[in-house]
Structure 1
Amino acid sequence: MLLSSIRRSSRSSRLEHWVCTQCAFIRRREPPQQVQHVKPYTTPSASKSFAKKSRFYPRGFIHHSQATIAAHWSPVDIRQDDLTLRTIFDSPQAWDAFSAVPSGMNVGLFRNGFLTSPHGFIAFARVSLKRARSVVDKVLATSSTQGYRAIVRHLDRLSDILCRVLDMADFVRVTHPDPQVQLQASNAWDLVYEYMNELNTMTGLNEQLCKAMADPEVTKFWSEEEKAVAEVLRLDFSKSAVNLGEKHRRRFVQLSSEISSVASQFVQDMSPEQPVLKIPSSYLRGMDPMTARALTRGGYVHLGTLSAEASMALRTVKDPDTRELLYRASRTASKYTVRLLEHLMKRRAELANISGFESYGHLALRDRMMAKSPEAVDKFLRALAANVRPKAQQEVADMLAEKQKTDPSATHLDPWDKDYYSAKIRQNMKAVTRDDDISSYFSLGVVMQGLSRLFERLYGIRLKPSKPLRGETWHSDVRRLDVISDTDGHVAVLYCDLFYRPGKSPNPAHFTLRCSREIPKEEMAEVWQSSQEDADVPRFYSPEAAANDGMHFQRLNGSIKQLPTIALICDFPQKEGNNSEEPALLNFYQLETLFHEMGHAIHSILARTSFQNVSGTRCATDLAELPSTLMEYFAADPTVLAQFARHYATDAPLPYRLVAEKLKQARRFEALDTENQIIMAMLDQQLHSPLAHERGFDSTEIYHNIQKELSSSPPDPADTRWQGFFGHLSGYGSTYYSYLFDRVLAQRVWDVVFKSGAKDGALQRENGEQLKQNLLKWGGARDPWKCLSGTLKDERLADGGEEAMALVGSWGTRSQV
């Protein structure tokens, strides 16, 4: 699919906590430099246009966007921004005063001149489709060598045109509180997606790209980045079956549609064989009595099989027979759910077969993945399993010893004992820290302040609060931050929607609303000319503004780049009422979550490539979680926390022992948690292997065999069917290993590049530059194995392959405490 790579990384979310069974540093200063006051960039033609078109104010004259150049700020400016950053997140009153919306023209959502009203989404989509068709016509008409040299840039622009609508509309339709805006955003998304499907049936675009790639007189003029984009586009075309005959192409389209439908149905209809358990209340001794009473009717406790209360009961109920009943029910998906899962696997297998692949795993892994093949993933998972097994076996032995304290005759651990005895061991750990003890040191404003200080030390960038203009944000809670580089000036825009509100998605996520991309002068001239003739286009003040839809851009070293525009979504609780003096306080898991999501953002910010197909997180899928997972190590590092963590009321510094105790408790059974993730990743691989082609394909048998081979703890009873609850099989098909892979890589980068935090290693600019220059700034524009090899200074990784995957697995994982 031509655009499959465009939106793949537009949204990144922390789907689960990998170490849990539940799903300002001051850089060495140069001598003070003179502050440069940067004026908005204007041209004589732009000024003339303003005078000429001022009568069109009803359509909106978009004058708020400006280009920026590299600038320097005084220490006073930086200190003031640092203070303001804390106050606008910690004090609703301070935010209201800072962000008081001025009267005047509505600048549109994200300062996009089209989006001043709900219906603006449709105008944005229609104008974008006109521009896209013009680019398609230009590509199809290309016949000269000079024309073929520009074909990658044209196709990348085509991707960007459509992505501008799709990514923004996708975000708005799931986030904006106004149903009418949601509806129009969804309609715009549908319009553009329909055209995308038309493009995926065109063979001409693929043929033109292949001609360009086969001509040395063309490719010798391409940069490394252009060659990477060409390869990405070629793979996307091949995945949409453009090379197949008409009969097979029709079947490919049918299968793609059916797979999408069945995958959604699998997740939506997922259910246990026994939805509710009816248990005599006397059998639930040990469970929280108030919870039990609330669920009791006629002497029986009614527990939803997959409810939080059932999970609590597994951890607390003393009677092993009751725990066995709960465990079996919670691990047995309905037969209908399992049939849906197996139907999905078989249809994916057929799709891969039509496309000429041995299995769906082979199809999925060859595109934008470091592993490249199921065989390489298998090597990684088995090496990791061997590394973690001794520690996992010790953790099982610890639980058995705990069981023997009350049952001296016990010789083994049952599957339904694991949650119960691991909970008892955690409870018995001394000096366990309460969430309230830690959260008092982590007000949201303090944490945002700390992130900005950390980024300034490591990468020379900081977060500067910016007053949003009228119509720019989707809710009054949204804070806008400008990302400022000490060398390049304004480099990105970050919208932070971090507080809970009713109806808002509870899932933390990073959205790329617009990617980095260089805009050629001829493209600006073309858009400027066409905008004068199209009644759907707002009036912009310059060609640069028109080419960016009114959104921010950067003028740097003679070129124009659209700035990365990012949204971060969290659901942190805020005290009721604007008069509350207590700020939003984060527990440690919420702190980790914010650091994680900001890791995605920093990747999008630093990888400001010239082509949007490879910008930011649009890199190898199994590398995309490395920057975000790495940030969790910074969140737990004492030297990092010492730079900002202070009590919101007393300003006392955080006693690090509180964090150390919390981490020690949470990660007490980390090896078993990792082993369970290995089993899930191996299941994902085998369900997408050639086994799915075979007669008698049985996902239950496959899961139990993997458990028997790889689990240090007792496997599930043979009559259970847990795989039916593995919802990530829908979206991650054959790539679930990626999180484990990036977790191992993150630990290695932490140990090698940042010296495990020793001797201020987490705060040294040279260490941040090593990561930035070798990996972060490239996005997907360089071979990820070369990026990793350069980052770790390990030549064994440079060429990738199965042995490199096995090497990564052998490094294993280790608790940070």
Structure 2
Amino acid sequence: MLQLSRSASYSICRWQLYRSVSTWTPLTTAFNSLPTKRINFTRDDVGLFRLPELRSSEGFYLLRDNVESRTQELIEEAISQQRSRKMVDIFDELSDSLCKVADLAEFVRIAHPKRKYTQCAEEACISICGVVESLNTHKPLYQALSNVVQHGDTQSTSEVDQHVARLFLFDFEQCGIHLPEQERLRVVRLNDAILQLGQKFMNGAVQPSILPRSYVPEEIRNYFPTSGENVIITGLCTNAENVRMREAAYRLYLQPSETQESLLRDLLVCRYELARSCGFATYAHRALNGSTMERPERVQEFIDVLSDKLRPRADADFALMSEMKRREGGDIGDLVEIWDTPYFTTQLRRQSLEEQANEFLPYFSLGGCMDGLDNLLQALYGVRLQNTDMEPGESWHNDIYKLAVVHEEEGLLGYIYCDFFERAGKPNQDCHFTIQGGKRLPDGTYQLPIVVVMLGLPQPRWSGPTLLSPARVDNLFHEMGHAMHSMLARTEYQHVTGTRCSTDFAEVPSVLMEYFAGDPRVLRTFARHFQTHEPIPENMLRRLCASKHLFAASETQLQVFYSALDQEYHSAAPQLGFNTTEILRNVQGRYYGLPYVENTAWQLRFSHLVGYGAKYYSYLVSKTIASWIWQTYFEANPFNRQAGEKYRKEILAHGGAVPSRKLVANFLQRDMTPNVLADSLITEIDSDESKIKDLIISRN
């Protein structure tokens, strides 16, 4: 007879006891185990996301045909002389119809485990792109919209209607439809070239460096994988204990590449030419049109002001790292180098704050964290997260949860599908997808938002639930912040609902959620041991919260440097024969406290230059605005219902329907000057530094 060891038997008994007598809430219990797979004996599949067309993958063809037919009807309505609806209503329905298919198909293409679904979804994506391209060249449609924006609609319109109509017009003109035909065709070619150059650059940015063995010092050669007589460098080895290994990986992985340099130069030139063709001074002016910061000159002023205030604080961080390096000894030198900073940040967490890698895991079960989110959302907004059974065929995998977001007075606000667990073929990236945007319908009801939150967590096991590291707790709160932005918005138009706003504002609600995830008062409500239900010890909680802010000044300075480099690349006319590494060297000297390393080209690995061209600063601005909101409304009491209701009413509810700069200024009752923004972040850094010092002193 098969026997279990005493320890294994004990573990099983503990887990069974935990499951049978648990005092966790139903939400916690649900997320601490896999969704129950229901066997369907009587009902037909309802279709993916409850769309009857998607009972099979071929349904994408029907969705595509239906939206193409509806598109033609809406075009005819928009250009008709007998139009009876507001032009913005027609355009938003057109956008909504296309997005419902395009966003759904893009998600299924990326996430569905079955090839036949991903293939049909990809074909639908291509078809919808073709429809959009045809719309972008439809001059009668453009002229009808342009006439309304310039001269007013024949129907009564509000300020929001006019703002959204201008957004639609700008999107139209991005493709040069307002230009003479030859110039328009040039814009089309430039857009195509930018897309192809960006894809090639991103692919090259992640390729390993393959070098002769002689390039690597003999004493560390064996640390790296080899292929014949070559050494393969796959990354920066930032947390390697051997300083020579960190240095070698940095110098070799970031060696200049003429191919990558050429791709980046061509990309920057094409972007500049595109911007000039569309009537903008630079690509940065084009990218920032309609953003929170509005123009690159304001971004540059913010970067400069923040840089000046950060420098002495970042220098103090580097001095502490250098002291740690001296204590480690060795013959490499006493001063911290650019390849050392991640390593010593980790070391300080372990040494000064006594943090162990797995110390916090038992206190953050997935179900416990979801319960914490539920309690927080109820306190702030009167909203509950209700785990909801799915109908047969509704989800793309059997480990998906469905949350109904229910307001205590307004009722159902929308649905969040939680695709939280890793699986073969699933993208290894935490992200948020909009499947259906919210909008006011003609009959006065509201089209409920539907979103997916995707994480890459390990599945629950027989021995216990999925446990989250503090970093993963932050990521969960961050992505749920995006989801709740979509849930709590109540816009007239789906084109501007929830996260469909400017890039430098879209991250504000999600970054703000990280402040709640780092506040001990919030963590106390749900950080409990998954077996004993004991709350996390107070000294551990204090160390955890403090550890999140180590070396905040130098880390922020690094983001300033990245942002400044991105602006430098996109805010001026490219000079003949310019070299992106020389620009990097100059910018690093001005904005970062550690020197440029000769014969390296870090920017050629910086894939964010493609997706965030001229907008990488958005993280800094979003962080700054979130910090400002936190200090003003929630720092004194993170469960303040009055502040939560005000935040929803004046920020979240509007999505992108009101210019974000106006939203923030009205909410905070102060103009967003570069000095005010910078001071907000510096105040936070100084406060966190003081808390860290107090904790270290108390432990010594």
Query: Is TM > 0.5 for Structure 1 vs Structure 2?
Result: yes
**Which residue in the other structure is 1:697 paired with?**
578
Residue of structure 2 equivalent to 1:525? none
Q: How does 1:145-160 map to 2 (within 5 A)?
A: 147=84, 150-160=86-96
2:66 to 116, 122, 127: 127
Residue 357 of structure 1: which of 259, 280, 287 is its match?
Answer: 280
State which of 449, 474, 491 in structure 2 corresponds to 1:609. Answer: 491
Change (3 A) 1:271 1:516: closer
> Which residue matches 1:85?
27
CA distance in 2 between counterparts of 1:421 and 1:581 reads 34
Q: 205, 228, 245: which is aligned to 2:141?
A: 205
Match of 1:380 in 2: 302
Deviations 1:403-438 (A, max 9, x none): 4443799675444454555555444325x2224321
| 2:446 corresponding residue in structure 1 | 561
Q: Do the aligned partners of 2:570 and 2:613 also contact (CA within 8 Å) in 1? A: yes
Aligned to 1:571: 456
Q: What secondary structure does 2:183 align onto?
A: helix
Residue 325 in structure 1 maps to residue 207 in structure 2:
no
Rounded to whole Å, the distance in 1 between the matches of 2:501 and 2:633 is: 21
1:746 deviates by 1.0
Which of 533, 537, 549 aligns to 1:651? It is: 533
In structure 2, give the amino acid aligned to 1:512: T
Post-superposition offset of 1:215: 3.6
- Match for residue 42 of structure 2 among 98, 103, 126: 103
Equivalent pair of 2:499/2:506 in contact (CA under 8 Å): yes
Residue pairs, 1:226-375, within 5 angstroms: 226-270=161-205, 274-276=209-211, 278=213, 283-284=219-220, 295=225, 304-307=232-235, 310-313=237-240, 316-319=241-244, 323-366=246-289, 368-375=290-297
Contact 1:333 1:723 in 2 (8 A): no
Residue by residue over 1:77-135, the C-alpha shift from the partner in whole angstroms, topping out at 9 and shown as x without a partner, is: xxx9982211111123xx317x5556312111111121110000110110111011100
Give the secondary structure class of the aligned counterpart of 2:403. Answer: strand
Call closer, same or farther: CA 1:483–1:403 in 2, change over 3 Å: closer
| Number of the residue aligned with 2:378 | 456
Q: Pairwise mapping of residues 585-624 of structure 1 onto structure 2 (< 5 A)?
A: 585-624=467-506
Q: Is residue 185 from structure 1 mapped to residue 121 from structure 2 by the alignment?
A: yes
Distance 1:770 1:791 in 2: 8
Secondary structure of 1:155's partner? helix
3-state SS, counterpart of residue 452 of structure 1 = helix
Amino acid at match of 1:125: R
Change (3 A) 1:467 1:416: closer
Match of 1:812 in 2: 681
Alignment partner of 1:676 out of 558, 562, 572:
558
User: Pick from 696, 701, 707: which aligns with 2:588?
Assistant: 707
> Contact 2:303–2:560 at 8 Å: present in 1 too?
yes
Q: Provide the residue aligned with 1:743 in structure 2.
A: 623
Q: Aligned in 2, Cα 1:678/1:593: closer, same or farther, shift over 3 Å?
A: same
Per-residue CA deviations over 1:260-279 (Å, capped at 9, x if unaligned) read 01100110122679434737
Report if the CA contact (8 A) 2:434-2:451 is conserved.
Answer: yes
Q: State the match for 1:780 in structure 2.
A: 656
**1-side partners of 2:487 and 2:23: how far apart?**
19
Give deviations 1:755-794, integer Å, cap 9, x for gaps: x2x3xx1011011112111111110111212211232232
Q: Which residue of 2 aligns with 1:539?
A: none
Query: What's 2:645 paired with?
Result: 769
Q: Secondary structure at the match of 1:181?
A: helix
- Write the distance in 1 (CA, Å) between the matches of 2:310 and 2:365: 36
User: Which amino acid is the alignment partner of residue 459 of structure 2?
Assistant: Q
Q: What secondary structure, in the 3-state scheme, does the structure 1 residue paired with 2:54 have?
A: coil
Counterpart residue identity of residue 681, structure 2: G
* CA–CA separation in structure 2 for the residues paired with 1:510 and 1:258: 28
**Deviations, residues 119-175 of structure 1 (Å, cap 9, x unaligned):** 00110110111011100011111x25x63x511100110000101100000000000
Question: TM-score normalized by structure 2?
Answer: 0.90
User: Which residue identity lines up with residue 646 of structure 2 in the other structure?
Assistant: Q
Relative distance call for 1:466 and 1:414 in structure 2 (3 A) is closer
> Contact 2:405/2:414 (CA < 8 Å) preserved in 1?
yes
Q: Structure 1 pair 710/131, CA: closer, same or farther in 2 (3 Å)?
A: same
| Corresponding residue number in structure 2 for 1:790 | 666
CA contact (8 A) 1:281 1:296 kept: no
Q: Given that residues 415 and 451 in structure 2 are in contact (C-alpha distance below 8 angstroms), is that contact kept between their aligned partners in structure 1? A: yes
Asked if 2 retains the 8 angstrom alpha-carbon contact of 1:376 and 1:806, the reply is no
Secondary structure in structure 1 of the residue aligned to 2:145: helix
Q: 1:423 to 1:108 in 2, by over 3 A?
A: closer
**Alignment partners' CA distance in 1, 2:208 and 2:387:** 52
* Residue aligned with 1:397, SS: helix
Q: Which moved more, 1:397-406 or 1:260-269?
A: 397-406
1:169 to 105, 108, 111: 105
Maintained 8 Å contact 2:293/2:661: no
Question: Deviations along 1:156-197, whole A, 9 cap, x unmatched?
Answer: 100001011000000000000000001011111111110110
Contact 1:744 1:811 in 2 (8 A): yes
> Do 1:383 and 1:810's aligned partners in 2 also have CA atoms closer than 8 Å?
no
1:52-92: CA deviation from partner (whole Å, max 9, x where unpaired): xxxxxxxxxxxxxxxxxxxxxxxxxxxx9982211111123
Secondary structure of 2:262's aligned partner: helix
Check if 1:465 corresponds to 2:387: yes
Q: Is contact 1:492–1:564 with CA below 8 Å preserved after alignment?
A: yes
Q: 1:415 to 1:192 in 2, by over 3 A?
A: closer
For residue 77 of structure 2, the aligned residue among 127, 138, 143 is 138
Listed one character per residue, the Cα deviations across residues 534-560 of structure 1 (whole Å, up to 9, x for unaligned) are: xxxxxxxxxxxxxxxxxxxxxxxxx22
Within 2, Cα distance between the matches of 1:382 and 1:293? Answer: 41
| 1:349 shift after superposition | 0.9
- The match for 2:9 is none
Give the Å deviation of 1:218. 3.6
Question: In structure 1, what residue type is equivalent to 2:452?
Answer: A
Q: 1:590 to 1:416 in 2, by over 3 A?
A: closer
Equivalent residues, number: 663
For 1:421 and 1:615, how far apart are their aligned partners in 2?
42
User: TM-score of the superposition, structure 1-length normalised?
Assistant: 0.77
Do 1:507 and 1:571's aligned partners in 2 also have CA atoms closer than 8 Å?
Answer: yes
Does residue 113 (structure 1) correspond to residue 52 (structure 2)? The answer is yes
Identity level (%)? 33
Distance in 2 of aligned mates of 1:187 and 1:264: 20
Aligned residues: CA RMSD = 2.6
The aligned amino acid for 1:85 is: L
Partner of 2:316: 394
Q: Tell me the CA shift for residue 444 of structure 1.
A: 0.6
Aligned counterparts of 1:229 and 1:82: Cα–Cα separation in 2: 45
Q: Which deviations, in whole Å up to 9, do the C-alpha atoms of 1:489-541 show, x marking residues without a partner? A: 111011011111122111011111000112224xxxxxxxxxxxxxxxxxxxx
Query: What is the DSSP-based 3-state SS (H/G/I as helix, E as strand, rest coil) of the residue aligned with 1:507?
Result: coil
Greater relative contact order: 1 or 2 (C-alpha under 8 angstroms, separation 6 or more)? 1
Structure 2 spans left out of the alignment, 5+ residues = 1-21, 692-700
Paired residue type of 1:382: D
- Aligned equivalents of 2:52 and 2:149: distance in 1? 37
Cα separation, 1, equivalents of 2:332 and 2:267: 46
Separation in structure 2 between the aligned mates of residue 587 and residue 273 of structure 1, nearest angstrom: 29
Contact 1:272 1:332 in 2 (8 A): no
> In the alignment, what sits opposite 2:437?
515
Question: 1:249: how far off?
Answer: 0.5
